Structures are given as C-alpha cells and as structure tokens.
Amino acid sequence: MYTVKEVSKLLDLTEHTVRFYTDKGLVPSVQRDKNNNRLFDQESINWLIGVRFLKQCGMSVEDIKSYVDLCLEGNSTIQERYEIILKQKVIAQAQLEEVTRTVKYMEEKANHYLKIIKGVIPDDTNPGNWESKYANNQLKKAQADFL
Amino acid sequence: MYTVKEVSKLLDLTEHTVRFYTDKGLVPSVQRDKNNNRLFDQESINWLIGVRFLKQCGMSVEDIKSYVDLCLEGNSTIQERYEIILKQKVIAQAQLEEVTRTVKYMEEKANHYLKIIKGVIPDDTNPGNWESKYANNQLKKAQADFL
DNA sequence: CTACTACCTTCGTGTTACACGAAGTCAATA
DNA sequence: TATTGACTTCGTGTAACACGAAGGTAGTAG
C-alpha cells in the first residue's frame, strides 16, 4: 500500500498531479483509509501507469476518463476500446518517428558544435549556417512527409 | 518564398502558431513584403524546422528564444549552445525510450483486445484485468527506472 | 500534553502555449 | 465592386497542471 507521496515518486508525477488524476476518476481502484487518505495498492499503481501511457501519446484527461469508464462498463465496450487503442497506437508510432528524428538532429547538431569547438571546422553562426544546411538536407525528407 | 498559410501546411502548424513563433522572434530570418506580409524563404523554413525539434524535446518558447539569441550573438556562444543541445539530446533520448515503451504497450494492448474479440480468450474487464497483469510485468522494469 | 509531521480538503490565482473570434485595415484579383 | 487573403490588436478561453493559503485530522516523538 502506497501513499500519494510514494506513488508520486514512483511514477515521477507531482503529488498535485496524482491527486488530480485520482480526483478525475482516472484510477478507479484507489481506496481511502479511515483517515480519508488515498491508498494505492499494486493495482492502482498499475492503472496509473496505464494512464501515463495514454497521456504520453496525447490523450487528454477527459478522453482517458471516457476510456476508463468504458473499461468499467464491461465486456460490451471491448470493440470500442480496441479502436481507441488502435488509434493511440498509430499516434504513438508517429511520435516514435518524430522523436527519433529529434534525437538524430540533436546528435548531429552536438557533433557539429563539437567540431567547431575543437577547431576542426570554422564557426558559421551567421544566417545561412549549419541550421540551414542541415535543415536543407532534412527538408527533402521532411517535405515528403508534410506535403 | 512561402506565405504563413503555406508554411503552416508544410510544417503542420496552425497559422496562429506560425505567427506566434515569428512574433516571438524564433525565426529571425523571416522577412516582410511591401504589404507587411510575412515571407518565408528556405532558410526561414529551416529555422522553423529547427524550432520544432527543440520544442519537441520539451524546450519552452522562452528557452528557444534564448537559444536563438545565442545563435545570433555569434561564435562566442558556441560552447553555451553546445551544452544546451547536449541537455536536449539527453531529454530526447529519454523521450525515445518512453515513447518506445508506449508503442509497445499499445501494441500489446491492441493484441489483447483482438484476442478477446476473436473469442480466443475470455474477456476480463473488471479490475484485476490485463491492465494489472501487464503493468505488473512492466512494473519491475518501471520501478527499476523510477526508484 | 504538546509540538510536529504528514496527510487531507477547498479555494483561488498563475502559467504555458496556444486556439479562436472580432474588428478593422490594406492590397491584389475577378 | 466584391471577394479574397493577408495583416493588426484585443480579448477571451482552454488544458493540465503548479503553487500557496487556510483550515482540519491523525499519529508520533519529546
């Protein structure tokens, strides 16, 4: 059994957020002790982890609430829930691509700066610099995605 | 040369956001035509793409502005910029792990639902369901990360 | 017994990064 | 002439919190 504080540490959420989520009904299994303190058992923590995943891929608190309610409604809603998860899966996959590109950008950028610092190449801070060159290269791929 | 509308389509931002960013000075190379319309050349678009990457890994508009200002200040700020990028790189890499986990969660969850729908396994909607079982498995890894 | 700590509550304000609409102004185009 | 599309400022609204205040209760330590 965990307190709000422990859970917040465990899942890297603020206590505020943990209370916020439970109050919004995102963690139906959360209990109270005789002093009205929130008590999280393993299951509640598991729920919270699930909630974090759903949040992660851009679901609003409201939408997560709806989803949780569907879960509580029972087996009749499984098709509906399946479709929600499928949609989120697609979103998460798109995020994965974006984040992968971002990591790559940061890596190449860091390398670029490092080279300048080490004097391997001259600096080029002014407009028309690496930002441009890098992005110009990226743009072909990027545009293919966006257009 | 691109208009706000075109850029917004190209980079999947709203026109509001594009104006917002340019007004905040995140795209120093943006020009105006004789009618005061924002005009984006290739370089401005590249800048915007860079801004998007920085945003992506959690930098605030304010911090991006500071970074952009550092860029404009010139070669003396390269070390500082290098450190910023390194920090963002770490953040982006952490995001990558999180998103990877999220994708996995969604995939496994979708598979689970699919099995229920196809009648391969019975439903288990009530508390103590798959959410718990999945999360219980995840928890060991998760806890290793968080504790 | 009292002080302190750790929960809880409600209330209310502040923040970020926008979204959105209103109203009014230009300028080019049909 | 009317529409279109850009612009501006102003102002409100929103989500998901962050944070502090004020006040309550419960358990522990000195």
pLDDT single digits (tens) B111-129: 999 999 988 776 655 434 5
Could you tell me the distance in Å between the CA of residue A36 and the C1' of nucleotide C9?
10
Q: Does position A91 have pLDDT exceeding 90, yes or no?
A: yes
Residues A61 and A26: beta-carbon distance below 8 Å: yes
Q: From B38, B35, B46, B36, select the one nearest B10 (Cα to Cα).
A: B46
Q: CA B8: distance to chain centroid?
A: 16
Residues B30 and B22: beta-carbon distance below 8 Å: yes
pLDDT band at A27 (very low <50, low <70, confident <90, very high): very high
**What pLDDT does A75 receive?**
87
Q: Can you list the residues of chain B whose pLDDT is less than 70?
A: 122-147
**What pLDDT does B123 receive?**
64
> Chain B interface, mutation test: which of A59, A106, A121, A124, most B Cβ atoms within 10 Å?
A106
Average pLDDT estimate for A86-97: 95
Query: Which residues does residue B39 pair with via DSSP β-bridges, in sequence order?
Result: B31
Structure tokens at A14: 């603020």
Average pLDDT estimate for A115-143: 59
Helix-helix angle A15-23:A4-11, to 10 degrees: 110
Size of interface A-B (CB pairs under 8 A): 175
Structure tokens at A132: 């441009």
Q: CA-CA distance, A88 to B109, in Å (whole number)?
A: 11
Amino acid at A140: K
Q: Does position A137 have pLDDT exceeding 70, yes or no?
A: no
Q: Does position A139 have pLDDT exceeding 60, yes or no?
A: no
Point out the residue among A47, A92, A106 whose CB comes nearest to the CB of B88: A106
Average pLDDT estimate for A14-19: 93
Q: CA-CA distance, A61 to A75, in Å (whole number)?
A: 23
- Phi and psi angles of residue A32, each rounded to the nearest 5 degrees, phi first: -125, 145
Amino acid at B5: K
Q: What is the pTM (predicted TM-score) of this model? A: 0.83
Count of CB atoms situated within 10 Å of the CB of A23: 11
Could you tell me the distance in Å between the CA of residue A104 and the C1' of nucleotide D5?
38
